[in-house]
Amino acid sequence: EKGGFDTYMLKEIYEQPQALTNTLIGRLHDETGEVNLDINLDPQSFKRISIIACGTAYYAGLVGEYLIEQLARIPVEVDVASEYRYRNPLVSENTLAIVVSQSGETIDTLEALREAKKGGAKTLGVINAKGSSMTRELGDTLYIHAGPEIGVASTKAYTSMVSAFVLLALWLGRARGTLTEEQAQELLHAARELPRLVEEALAPERVESIRQVAEKYAHARDYLFLGRGVNAPTAFEGALKLKEISYIHAEAYAAGEMKHGPIALIDANLPVVVVATESRLLEKTISNVQEVKARSGKVIALLSDGDTENARHADDVLYVPRAHEMVSPVVNAVAMQLLAYFTATALGKDVDKPRNLAKSVTVE
């Protein structure tokens, strides 16, 4: 049932090209730059968006915030469900509440959805599990179609959620006139490339080099992850994956926050993973890399293929296929998953059954 893989987690990591194909299939129309999501939601019927989720799904929501604000120019806030549900949130008929959940059963997210509905919000779910509790209470559901996810640490559901947000941001941008047909076509093309890029990110020589880096640092006590903009959540997700399955303490920050505190942690024993793939703000991120180096930190840089220039600043480099910045979090997440995976296996941990964790959190 693990299809020849040692673990469900690894199997699901390798299923990502197919999962992403399933997320995208039938929803993109090249000629017109249109996206068809098969939902009834009127894209003009709200003025603001609240994205609500827990854990990894919350990080997918943070990418969603970035994409929707950039591409559709709608104000978005993102909340962890356990906070949202108890803070008497400001909701009205002008709000679209988007809940994000693999299982569709997470109790905090379900209760947050009920809270949003009580306030009159329109509701949309970005959901994997068909017919789950949330889908029965949602106005509209955008299924991610990632297929069943057994591994406790979420992998393919995350990348499919992020891809669903690419589609949603494109759809909203087209409907609300913030994207020209040309811009939409460019993004649509970038989205369509995702299954192939993720396949490429899983090429044996890349996986092997991530395994080597993971083993080199597997005995670190702590890890720091940094990223910016649309890839700040990639850093958060990388740290969460590492904590969950290897039990190494990991912190993650938006790279620009480093000098406001976490820089004090840096010494020669601290591996710092920096997401530094091609982006508008790459130069800023590279200056953060130099700050880490100046304090003898060990830099593991995630770089776009061919970026030998910036490789000079790093102790170790993980190369990933070049992708349009707006879809790059999907490709970059794969390297994060593999880094966590090989760290955990190097330490002899049972990645499919991480201690203290359950696949679906249906109690508070």
The Cα–Cα gap between 52 and 64 comes to 11
Interface mask (CB under 6 A) for ligand F6R, residues 85-104, using x and -?
----------------xxx-
Of the pair 279, 337, the CB lying nearest ligand F6R is at 337
In whole angstroms, the minimum distance from the beta carbon of 361 to ligand F6R comes to: 5
In whole angstroms, the minimum distance from the beta carbon of 272 to ligand F6R comes to: 22
Q: Which of 17, 55, 61, 321 binds ligand F6R (CB under 6 A)?
A: 55
Q: Is 359 a catalytic residue?
A: yes
In whole angstroms, the minimum distance from the beta carbon of 158 to ligand F6R comes to: 7
In whole angstroms, the minimum distance from the beta carbon of 248 to ligand F6R comes to: 15
User: Is 285 among the residues that bind ligand F6R (CB under 6 A)?
Assistant: no
Q: Which of 153, 318, 333, 334 binds ligand F6R (CB under 6 A)?
A: 153
User: Is 57 among the residues that bind ligand F6R (CB under 6 A)?
Assistant: yes
Of the pair 104, 321, the CB lying nearest ligand F6R is at 104
List residues with catalytic annotation.
Answer: 359
Q: Which residues of this protein are in contact with ligand F6R, per CB under 6 A? A: 54-57, 101-103, 106, 109, 153-154, 240, 244, 360-361
